[in-house]
Amino acid sequence: MKVSLFITCLADVFYSNVGKSTVELLEKQGCKVDFPEQQTCCGQPAYNSGYHKETKEVAKHMIRTFEKSEYVVAPSGSCVAMLHEYEQLFKDEPEWKEKVRNLANKSYELTQFLVEVLKIENVNASLPACATYHKSCHMTRLLGVIDAPTKLLENVSGLNVTPLPNSHDCCGFGGTFSVKMVPISEQMVDEKVRHIEETNADVLIGSDCGCLMNIGGRINRQGKAIKVMHIAEVLNSEVR
């Protein structure tokens, strides 16, 4: 099975190990992974800020970039949700309808791809730790991926996952929201950190780098001894 890696901006610039773990994890499952170097941002920041005309140019480039891909997989539910949002973006341009739908139909978040396409719930990972899992708003509410991460984490040897109180609450990142509404975002992430501490977890796991950057940054500033890991890193972990 051939998979094209959609690395996403945050993983590319700040979380290279997430990209590496994603590739290694997919290859362990027998996938042949390629990396289209022409890929750029999916256009979500511009789209959410109301710059739809500019977003269309970015979207057209991404559609062309992944046009020949068999599957497109990203370590981010938020960014994959944006690829699906292209259908709304081009709703008045029928000449793009088929291409947009083709991209949406073959684009998956990493855990979604493992569980729904590859039909795998145990990747033979091992990580002795007490952890809790943060649910990304875009991944759960927009993309509709809810159970896949949990199913995979349940089969990680040595990992004890405690449910996160108020797990449905946003962490306060929300892309440009955290920049435009700083005081509110700060209060939201402080509340999220308090709930994480209530679980007594040593590790916070998430599936979107944006959330992990926001929560991890706050944890670091407050001097908390909680490690932050992307689920790709967890699923690619092995005790040697």
Can you give the pLDDT at residue 175? 73
Q: Are 119 and 152 in contact (CB under 8 A)?
A: no
Over the stretch 152-210, which tens digit does the pLDDT of each residue have? 999 999 999 999 999 989 988 877 777 777 788 889 999 999 999 999 999 999 999 99
**What percent of the chain has pLDDT above 70?**
99
Element (H, E) at 4: strand 2-5
Average pLDDT of the chain to the nearest whole number: 94
Distance, CA of 173 to CA of 215 (rounded, Å): 8
Segment among 27-36, 107-116, 164-173, 217-226 with least mean pLDDT: 164-173
- Kindly report, residue by residue over 71-109, the tens digit of the pLDDT: 999 999 999 999 999 999 999 999 999 999 999 999 999
3-state class (DSSP) for residue 127: strand
Burial class (CB in 10 A: 0-12, 13-18, 19+), 109: buried
CA distance 41 to 70: 20
* Number of Cβ within a 10 Å radius of residue 45: 16
pLDDT at 214 over 80: yes
CATH 3.40.50 range(s) for the chain read 126-235
Residue 239 has pLDDT above 70, yes or no: no
DSSP characters for 29-42?
TT-EEE--TT----
Q: Find the mean pLDDT for residues 53-76.
A: 97
| Residue type, position 180, single letter | K
Contact 22, 114 (CB under 8 A): no
**pLDDT at 240 > cutoff 60:** no
Structural element, H or E, at residue 218: helix 209-221
Question: May I ask the CATH class of domain 126-235?
Answer: alpha beta
Which range has the worst mean pLDDT, 21-30, 48-57, 181-190, 210-219? 181-190
> What is the pLDDT averaged over residues 130-137?
96
- Classify 74 as helix, strand or coil: strand
| pLDDT recorded at residue 184 | 87
Q: Are strands 126-133 and 157-161 parallel, antiparallel or unpaired?
A: parallel
Give the bridge partners for 203, in sequence order. Answer: 131, 227
Q: Which of 66, 62, 48 is nearest to 4 (CA)?
A: 66
Query: Residues 119-131: what's their mean pLDDT?
Result: 97
pLDDT of residue 238: 86
- Transcribe 146-193 into DSSP letters: -SHHHHHHHTSEEEEEPPPTTTTS--S-TTTHHHHSHHHHHHHHHHHH
